[in-house]
Amino acid sequence: MTPPQPLAQPPAAEPLPLAPAPGAAPLPRMIAAQAGLEGKTLLRNGEQLLLVLIIPVLLLTAFSLGSFVSIGANTRQYRIDFLVPGIVALAIMSTAFTSQAIATGFERRYGVLKRLGGTPLSRVGLIAAKTVTVIGVELLQAVIIVAVGFALGWRPDATVAGVASAVLLAAVGTAAFSGLALLMAGTLRAEATLAAANLVYLVLLGVGGVLFPLTKFPAGARGPLKLLPSGALSDGLHHVLQNGGGLPAADLAVLAIWAVAAIALAARTFRWE
């Protein structure tokens, strides 16, 4: 009788990797996560939603359908053709400047920026996330404003090159207004930022060529008004979308100068606490 054979032993299981493996996520993933949070916060804030979406659409509809003031030929077609580029400029200003300045100012006051400074997200990553959020909101604004404009009868006089010029103007204008927003939010108290941002918004709404053509102002004031970022942006957008012109180099240069100066000053003076 043969002795019983020993049972085969199962192979030894490899030990599980229980040691912690700390490390930050890749920068693009952190930027995307922070941008998503910034966007959700903005869209959940009724005041910010009113500022960046509802007010531009209401102004476009009201001034297109009603002749409250004369803005040129004063026909409905002329009003809508003039107003859509101006409202696009207003949307960029409201998102990149007013909304961002107010939100960043209060984030700084409540210590949100200080806490983010203790995370792996760098300052460059935070600024990039805010930029991505602004661009995303502006794209949403553009889609809504253009759709409402077409529904009201807007007929843009622009070639493919003109549309590309409008995108370039919008991008440089966004950089200029974002730099101004961070400059204001990083140097003033939150309450002062709130008051100043809203005041500047209302002033530029009246004198920035958004609702009223710059030709309505005295001849001596038109040149200085075109040197404002709002005046340069609205004038450039009217030039390419309403009049079918080419790239307005002067308006683009004004916006570029504002962008470089504002961003440089913001980088030197911004206080995170």
165-182 confidence digits (pLDDT tens): 999 999 999 999 998 998
Task: For residues 188 and 197, give the distance between their C-alpha atoms in angstroms, rounded to a whole number.
Answer: 11
Q: What is the rounded average pLDDT of the residues 131-151?
A: 90
Q: How confident is the model at residue 6 (pLDDT cuts 50, 70, 90)?
A: low
- Secondary structure E strands in the chain: none
**% of the chain exceeding 70 in pLDDT:** 88
Nearest of 233, 118, 226 to residue 165 by alpha carbon:
233
- Secondary structure E strands in 141-237: none
Task: For residues 93 and 138, give the distance between their C-alpha atoms in angstroms, rounded to a whole number.
Answer: 10
**Is residue 251 pLDDT above 90, yes or no?**
yes
Task: For residues 58 and 87, give the distance between their C-alpha atoms in angstroms, rounded to a whole number.
Answer: 10
- CA 21, distance to chain mean position in Å, is 37
For helices 190-207 and 100-109, the axis angle rounded to 10 degrees is: 170
Q: Comparing 28 with 145, which gets the higher pLDDT?
A: 145
Contact status, residue 153 vs residue 238, Cβ threshold 8 Å: no
Which two tokens mark 120?
């792996």
**Is residue 243 pLDDT above 80, yes or no?**
yes
**Is residue 210 pLDDT above 70, yes or no?**
yes
Q: List the domain boundaries for the chain.
A: 27-269
CA distances from 180 to 62, 115, 171, 193 (A): 29, 24, 14, 11
Q: How confident is the model at residue 254 (pLDDT cuts 50, 70, 90)?
A: very high
Residue 5: its pLDDT value, please? 60
Which two tokens mark 139?
């794209």
Whats the size of the chain, residue-wise?
Answer: 273
Contact status, residue 269 vs residue 187, Cβ threshold 8 Å: yes
Helix, strand, coil shares, percent, the chain, to 5: 70, 0, 30
Contact status, residue 200 vs residue 98, Cβ threshold 8 Å: yes
Residue 78: its pLDDT value, please? 81
The set of residues, in sequence order, having a beta carbon less than 8 Å from that of 34 and lying 6+ positions away, is 121, 125, 126, 129
Task: For residues 252 and 258, give the distance between their C-alpha atoms in angstroms, rounded to a whole number.
Answer: 10
Residue 126: its pLDDT value, please? 77
DSSP structure class, residue 110: T
DSSP letters along 114-163, please?
A: HHHTTSS--HHHHHHHHHHHHHHHHHHHHHHHHHHHHHHT------HHHH
Output the pTM of the full model.
0.83
74-130 confidence digits (pLDDT tens): 677 888 888 899 999 999 999 999 989 998 888 888 888 888 777 777 777 777 888
Q: How confident is the model at residue 268 (pLDDT cuts 50, 70, 90)?
A: confident
Nearest of 156, 153, 173 to residue 234 by alpha carbon:
173
